[in-house]
Structure 1
């Protein structure tokens, strides 16, 4: 397949997400895109492993939007924290965030971040998983309380925002796709977009 040229038209790109973190990450690529919220049920299936849950939801989000805009290239993504095989999602409340950080204190947690790229009209489907292993420090109660009051990361899986003050909760991060922990693995996303006909280095512009 020939390399996409500078004059080749780029397909419409849509981010199927309500996450401001994913929107901010995708904006780094300087690609024109729009955002459409996916309407899906995110309830885990009985016995579903965290990696399988994240992968299924990322694909479901992409397809939910792709069915409405079949000619567009749609990105879906999902993240589930994995503590010893148990899924940890967004806490939603302060009390649940406290409980999550207590359970992860001194533990290694794998943040399973999945991404899917779909174009319904062309039957194009790609998906991938970017696991990130995070080792939490042994956290004092006062540290947990201070962090949560400062950041209020109640919309983040695992109650930790590593891109800001949450980095102080951690001992180590191991990943081959650095933005995966924030919510969208851009290395894998770029590879899928190139296959879909959108090259970030050739189609960059002003994000919408």
Structure 2
């Protein structure tokens, strides 16, 4: 398969920073996608559907690209879903619900060839064990990091780590918003190996 330029279907600075770690050139564009869940839709189905929808939303604007879409959903033990809180009050409610529980984070990933329609989809699970949080801790944390654009109301790469007892999953990058292990596997299947692209001219001793 002929290699094509990469496009990240996201305006998220968190996903952009993650993708930069692979060392591949790419551009970003924000898709316009309705993220409302379908009635009865599971967290896995929602995350993968939205990841694909974000990629497909940019195919007409960006022909000749491989488009990367991603979306994240958090699932409480009772099956209810947590999305981006958008406000301090909603974030407070989310962390109160998560306190003392295991919360399953599902990060959908899609890689789409804008021309041929070739598509790969994946959903990366990751379980977060929240410790018992006091209202004072919740309020202080939220005012310090203001993670109102993050599913689950925390920033894994920041002070959010203080909210947890344990983490369980193969790729902690998925908690930030982009499963790099799964994406690397997809890219290698499509003929791009980030480790072998643009190698140094010579190895140093």
TM-score, scaled relative to structure 2:
0.92
Deviations 1:109-153 (A, max 9, x none): 000011000003233100101110001000011100110010000
Answer yes or no: is 1:72 the counterpart of 2:65. yes
- Residue 6 (structure 1) aligns with: none
Deviation at 1:17, TM superposition (A): 0.6
* Contact 1:90–1:157 under 8 Å retained in 2: yes
Separation in 2, partners of 1:120, 1:106: 43
Unaligned runs of 5+ in 1: 2-8
- Residue 55 (structure 1) aligns with: 48
Q: Match of 1:158, SS? A: coil
- Residue 127 (structure 2) aligns with: 133
Separation in 1, partners of 2:198, 2:7: 14
State the aligned residue count.
198
| Cα 1:204–1:53 shift into 2, 3 Å | farther
Separation in 2, partners of 1:24, 1:204: 19
Deviation at 1:196, TM superposition (A): 2.5
Answer yes or no: is 1:120 the counterpart of 2:114. yes
- Residue 27 (structure 2) aligns with: 34
- Residue 81 (structure 2) aligns with: 87
Answer yes or no: is 1:98 the counterpart of 2:88. no
Deviations 1:58-88 (A, max 9, x none): 0111111123223210000000001121110
Deviations 1:18-40 (A, max 9, x none): 11100000001111000011111
* Contact 1:106–1:137 under 8 Å retained in 2: yes
- Residue 167 (structure 2) aligns with: 173
Structure 1 or 2: larger helix share?
A: 1
Q: Match of 1:146, SS? A: helix
Separation in 2, partners of 1:178, 1:91: 21
Deviation at 1:51, TM superposition (A): 1.2
Larger RCO, structure (CA 8 Å, separation 6 or more): 1
Unaligned runs of 5+ in 2: 200-205
Query: How do 1:155-174 and structure 2 match up within 5 A?
Result: 155-174=149-168
Separation in 2, partners of 1:127, 1:59: 7
Match of 2:180 among 176, 180, 186: 186
- Residue 107 (structure 1) aligns with: 101
Q: Match of 1:113, SS? A: strand
